[in-house]
Structure 1
C-alpha cells in the first residue's frame, strides 16, 4: 500500500494530509503538527502548510497511519485519479460529454465542493461506490434524485428515517421509512413529518438502504440532490458522480460560499414553491424538486446570476445559532449559560478549531426559540461580511474570568450600508486576535486567523 501512496502526485498527498487535519486524524506519531514537531528540528510546526512541504515529508507522515487508514488513503488517491481522468476526457472529447456530466463537473468545480464532499468514509458503516469506466460515465445521462429526512438521536448524531429516490421522469424508484436502530431524542416532526408512531414496525435499516442505492446507481448513474452532501453523510454513502442543485446556479445577491434553500431556488427557477411556510417537508416532493431544477438547468441554461429571496438558508440551519471566535480553553458546555430556551450544543471538534479559537453550533427546537435566544443576548449587534446578524457577547465564568466571542444567525439579510457603519462605533476586527489572558493567565499575542 505504501508503494501506491508513493506513486501519487504531491498535490494528491497534500489533499490527503489536509483531510487528516480537517478530521483530526492521528497516526503513530500523532497528527500532522505533532509529526512535524517530532521530526523536523529546523522548522518544526512553523511551516505547517502541507503544500510547502516536500513529497517525502508528506509521504512519511501518511505512512505513520495504520494499514486500515492507508487502505482508505489509497481510495482517496484513486478518487483523485478518477477526477483527473474525467477532466482529461472532457478536454479531449468535449463533443462526446453528456450535458448531465457537465453539471457533474460544474458541481465539482464549486468552491465548497472539496470542503463538503470529502467524506469520513474510513469510519465504520460507510460504503464507497466507484463510478466505473470513465468513457462510459461521460456519455451517460441517466439521473436519479434523492432526498432524506433525518432525526436527532440521543448520542448527538443525526439518523435517516425516510429516503425517496425518483428518476428524470419523476417516477419513484425508492420510497421507504428507515429504522435508525438507536434512541431518538427529537423526531423533528414539524420538519420531517415523521413521528414515533410512523416508525413502529419498520424493519428497513440503513444497511438495507445502502444496498438499494448500490443497485439503482449501477452503471455510473448520476445522483442529484440539494445540498446532497448532507444526505450522503447521513446515509454514510460515498459517491462522487453527483449534481448538487445548490452548486450549479449563480446567485446575484448571495456570497460565493452561500447556497439558496430548495424552496427559494424552486421559486426563482421553476416558478413554484415546494412547500408553504410552516408546512413540514415532503421527502418525495423534495426529490422531485431537485430533479426539476436540473431539468430546468439543462433546458434553459440559467447562466446569469439568479436573484434569491432573503432568509433562504435551509430550515434545519435556521434552528441554529453559530458561536465563533471562541477561545479553545473554554469548554463547549459553558456556552449554554448565555442562551434562553433549552438548546443543545455540538461538541468542539478538530475540524472547527482554527489556531486559538473554535466554532460550534447551538441547536434549538424551533426557529422561534432560536430567534428569541438571539434577541435576548446581551451584546452589540453588527453584521458580518455576508449580511448575517451577529452579536459580540461576554460570558462570565465561575472562576471570575470574562470571555468574549461572537454569536451569529444563520439567515442572510441585507448587507450593511455605509450609513449603518458610520453610526456604529468601531468594532474589533474579527480576523485579528486582541491580547487576552488564556486559561493560565498568560497574555496571548496578536495573530492573524482566517475570517469566519
Structure 2
C-alpha cells in the first residue's frame, strides 16, 4: 500500500472514531461549505489545501462530491475554538430538525379530525406554498448560524389558525446589504400587532430613502436592536400562527428568524409564460384588490405592504389557492425604445462610471437622463432603438429577465474609487423593442395582417 493510501486510510478511520456516520453526510456538507465561506482552517489548512495535501487526485472542491469520511476528516482537523462551536451548533441543529420531524409525523397521525372549512382554506395556501419548486431553496434558512433564532415547527392544524402579515424594511450597513430597520406585523383585519423601529449595530451606509422613506432623523431616540425585534416576534408566534408575506424569506432573513408555516403570495401568483418572474406586490394589489398600494415614485410603507399581503391571501382563499395572471397590459412608447434603464446604482456613481459600462464595440451613448449621484436609476439614451438593442447585446454580464419578463443583465460597474459594484441594465421592451405580454402578442398579430395585405 502506497504512503498516500495509508494516509488516506488513517484519515478515514479517524473520522469513524469521531461519532460521524453516513447519516450525517448532509450536516458535513453544510459544515464544509460554511468553512469554505468563512475561510476556516484545520491542521492541514483550509478545505482546498486539505484536499491538495491529503487527496491530490480529487479535483473537485465541491463538498457534495466527496465521501462523508473525507468530509469528516476535514471537520475533525478544525482546532480553533470558534470552529468547534460552529460544529456543535450544526450538530445540535440537525438533532433538533430530526426531533421535530418525528414529532410532526406523530402529531399528524394522531390528528384524526379534519380542520374546519376556513382553517382548511388557510392550510391549503400553506401546503401550496410548500409545494412550490423554489420553496426549499428559499426557506432553507441558515438558523444554525450565530444570531439566528429558530422557532420549532408545529403541526398547528388541530385549532383555528391565526394569520399575521409580516413586512420589514431594510437598509445597507458596512456588513449587511439587508440590515433590519423596521418590522411590522398586522392581524387578518389589518390592525397593528407590532410596529418597531430597529437601529443596526453597524453604521448605515445607505438608508434607501426612496424605498424605505427613512432618513437619519428617523432613528433619533431609537434604541431597539434586532434581538429586541426577534424576542417581540417570538412572543407572537404561538402554536397556531401562520405568517403571511410577499417574498417573506427576505423579511425572515433580515430578522434572522427561521419560522414555518408560512404563506408566501409571491410563490402562489405568477404571470403566464413568465414562470421565473415574481409579480410585484403593488401590481398584484392594483389588479386583484383594485387598490393602489403606493403612488409612482413614493416610498414603501411597511404596514401597507403587510396588510396587502394578508388581503392577497384572503383573495386566494376565495379564488385560489394559486393564480396565473396575464402580464400587465403596458404599452412602451416608441420614443422610449431607444433607451436602456440602469438601476440599482450604488451611491456616488458618476456619468463617467456609467459610460464605462459600455464596451468600445457598443454604439455611442447620446446622454444620461436622471441624476445618478442622487437617484438609484437613470436612463441611458441612444440614437435609435437599434442602437439601444445592440448596446444591450454588447454589455458584458449575466443575462436574465426582470419581474415582467423584460431582458435584463447584471453588469459589473467600476466606480471611481476602484471598487466594482453590480448594477442592473434592462431593455424598455421585451422583444427587441416590442412591448411585453399581451401588447407584444397584439403587435405580432398586426404585423402578420399587414404582411398578408
Band the TM-score falls in, shorter-chain normalisation = 0.5 to 0.7
Cα distance 1:231–1:56, how it changes in 2: closer, same or farther (>3 A)?
Answer: same
2:430 aligned with 1:414, yes or no? yes
TM-score by length of 2: 0.65
Show CA shifts across 1:270-297 (max 9, x none).
2323112111111111010111111212
Contact conserved, 1:147 with 1:231, CA < 8 A, in 2? yes
Q: CA deviation at 1:309?
A: 2.7
1:234 to 254, 257, 260: 254
Return the index of the structure with the highest Cα Rg.
2
TM-score by length of 1: 0.65
2:57 aligned with 1:39, yes or no? no
SS in 2 for 1:208: helix
CA distance in 2, matches of 1:294, 1:22: 40
Q: Which residue of 1 aligns with 2:238?
A: 218
Q: CA deviation at 1:377?
A: 10
CA distance in 2, matches of 1:394, 1:379: 18
Moved more, 32-41 or 141-150: 32-41
1:303 to 322, 342, 345: 322
CA distance in 2, matches of 1:168, 1:391: 39
Q: CA deviation at 1:372?
A: 3.9
Cα distance 1:385–1:231, how it changes in 2: closer, same or farther (>3 A)?
Answer: closer
Q: Which residue of 2 aligns with 1:283?
A: 302
CA distance in 1, matches of 2:158, 2:22: 26
2:125 to 99, 103, 109: 103
Runs of 5+ unmatched residues, structure 2 = 1-16, 331-340, 358-371, 416-420, 435-453
2:70 aligned with 1:57, yes or no? yes
Higher-helix-fraction structure: 2
1:339 to 346, 349, 353: 353
Over the aligned positions, Cα root-mean-square deviation in angstroms equals 4.7
2:21 aligned with 1:6, yes or no? yes
Cα distance 1:84–1:112, how it changes in 2: closer, same or farther (>3 A)?
Answer: farther
Q: CA deviation at 1:4?
A: 7.8
CA distance in 2, matches of 1:7, 1:287: 44
CA distance in 2, matches of 1:209, 1:394: 35
Q: How many residues align?
A: 369
Moved more, 405-414 or 261-270: 405-414
1:68 to 64, 85, 91: 85
Cα distance 1:365–1:38, how it changes in 2: closer, same or farther (>3 A)?
Answer: farther
1:117 to 139, 156, 162: 139
Q: CA deviation at 1:146?
A: 1.0
Cα distance 1:94–1:151, how it changes in 2: closer, same or farther (>3 A)?
Answer: farther
Contact conserved, 1:319 with 1:364, CA < 8 A, in 2? no
Contact conserved, 2:170 with 2:212, CA < 8 A, in 1? yes
Runs of 5+ unmatched residues, structure 1 = 312-316, 323-334, 344-362, 398-404, 419-452
1:381 to 364, 372, 392: 392
